Structure 1
Amino acid sequence: MTTDGITRAEYCVVACAEAWRDNGEVLASPMGLIPGFGARLAKRTFSPDLLLTDGEALLVGLDGRPEGWLPYRRHLTMVTGGKRHVMMGASQIDRYGNQNISCIGDWRRPARQLLGVRGAPVNTLNNPVSYWVPKHSPRVFVERVDMISGVGYDHAVGPYHRLPRVVTDLAVLDFATPDHAMRLASVHPGVTVDDVRAATGFELVIDGEVPTTRRPTAEELRLIREVVDPRGLRDREVRA
């Protein structure tokens, strides 16, 4: 619990929700508990036009009930036309946003096999992709990823490639720099810039005084605690 009575997890939910601010009518595809709560919070507040899906073949409303059919061919049209904004995880991510979820070590003889490349290349090249990292550490934030799954700014092609933000349990990061190197955008309450630096395996861009992550409004807190996540599952993923 932070000094203002708001948990670190609740700051993370709001920080994830902010990824979809001003997105308009796009398909929000959050992967993970905190991003899922963030997408639902965004739709209930400042991004009411967001489309939510059950992850299979339906568009769903705020209550989880079906509102429309989303067959695979329509889903692919949205994916390849910049009309979806994904928030994925990352086993590794580097300063330019290259992401790895495939393997650790040389891909020909990996020390550890992970999920595989999956849809990460298509996601990152064809629609906006943000990232959620529940444990910020030098093992995740690396100088160079072992294999590129999601494509970063130094390898990107295509008109829809965009990496709006990276949210972690410590901070919010973005790529709002001339060469699209990762920048420390804000730190969560109780976290210092030095804490984030120590947990990052490369030199972050620090642009002047780093602000504190936006505080949830009273209404956002009510929605998180009473409507979006009344069971408090968020605190299992992010502990103070």
Structure 2
Amino acid sequence: MTISRAEVCAVACADTWRDAGAVLASPFGVIPSIGARLARLTTAPDLLLTDGEAMLLAEPTALGAEATGTVEGWMPYGRVLDLLAGGRRRVMMGASQVDRYGNQNISRIGPWDKPKVQLIGVRGAPGNTVNHTTNYWVAKHSTKVFVTSVDLVAGVGHDRARQVGARFHDVRVVVSDLAVLDFTGPDRAMRLRSVHPGVSVADVQARTGFELAIDSVAETRLPTDEELALIRHRIDPANLRDQEVPG
């Protein structure tokens, strides 16, 4: 059976919600959205999922389909902020830039007074990273994303959190189209945890703009038969995943 790179990435994202308990999942992007739904159906049955607006759904809906089914709760924006501040949310955000300590940029590329590219702004990244578990998804691993120093800090990394004593800071994992990385290197630097099938350690290092901590590197696990069936037939029957991570 052929397993796509997108499917490997999706289960790696799902594993970031494994055993999360009754927390609100906030995935950004197709692959993280598949991952959150997959976790809810397998390893994190108490995970809270919304319809993308204000309703909590009893069962995950397929990507791209109209949200239907049993509504089990109401999640207005104010309540989301309550969960955020109380640490009862787990988010997987994107990153236009991320450095070796997990400082993330989604705001601008280039100097402050004359940026080359204006992005979406810092949004909720500061509050997310200092209040609850935050992970990142990068659909195209490159030296333009994995940089020595971000142009603007939106999400707070381990070095800055340590300086200010951010006691609830919890940035854990970066999943990319090449690998899974964490922050268990020296001084909480980025470490290469696993490479996806067909990817070498050298491939990942060559597309990273700083030296990764590398010790024992595993191969990212493959989806189980159950997970593949859920992804292909229930969660993403329209195969939107291959648009984000081409096969």
8 Å contact kept, 2:105–2:152 = yes
8 Å contact kept, 1:42–1:48 = yes
- The runs of at least 4 aligned residues of structure 1 exceeding 3 Å deviation read none
1:215 and 2:222 equivalent? yes
CA RMSD in angstroms comes to 1.1
Give the alignment of 1:54-69 within 5 angstroms: 54-62=51-59, 63=61, 64=67, 65=69, 66-69=71-74
What displacement does 1:102 show?
0.5
The runs of 5 or more residues in structure 2 that have no matched partner are: 62-66
Aligned equivalent of 2:114, options 109, 112, 116: 109
Three-state SS of the structure 2 residue aligned to 1:173 is: strand
Give the alignment of 1:77-96 within 5 angstroms: 77-96=82-101
TM-score by length of 2: 0.93
8 Å contact kept, 1:81–1:160 = no
Is 143-152 or 57-66 further displaced after alignment? 57-66
| Percentage identity across paired residues of the two chains | 62
| C-alpha distance in structure 2 between counterparts of 1:221 and 1:111, whole Å | 41
| C-alpha distance in structure 2 between counterparts of 1:13 and 1:194, whole Å | 23
| Residue identity opposite 2:218 in structure 1 | P
Residue matched to 2:10: 13
What displacement does 1:86 show?
0.5
8 Å contact kept, 1:16–1:38 = yes
| C-alpha distance in structure 1 between counterparts of 2:21 and 2:150, whole Å | 32
What displacement does 1:112 show?
1.1
| Residue identity opposite 1:181 in structure 2 | A
| Residue identity opposite 1:9 in structure 2 | A
Aligned equivalent of 1:30, options 27, 32, 35: 27
Residue matched to 2:64: none
TM-score by length of 1: 0.95
8 Å contact kept, 2:186–2:213 = no
| Residue identity opposite 1:137 in structure 2 | S
The runs of 5 or more residues in structure 1 that have no matched partner are: none
Q: Would you say how many aligned residue pairs link Structure 1 and Structure 2?
A: 236
What displacement does 1:178 show?
4.2
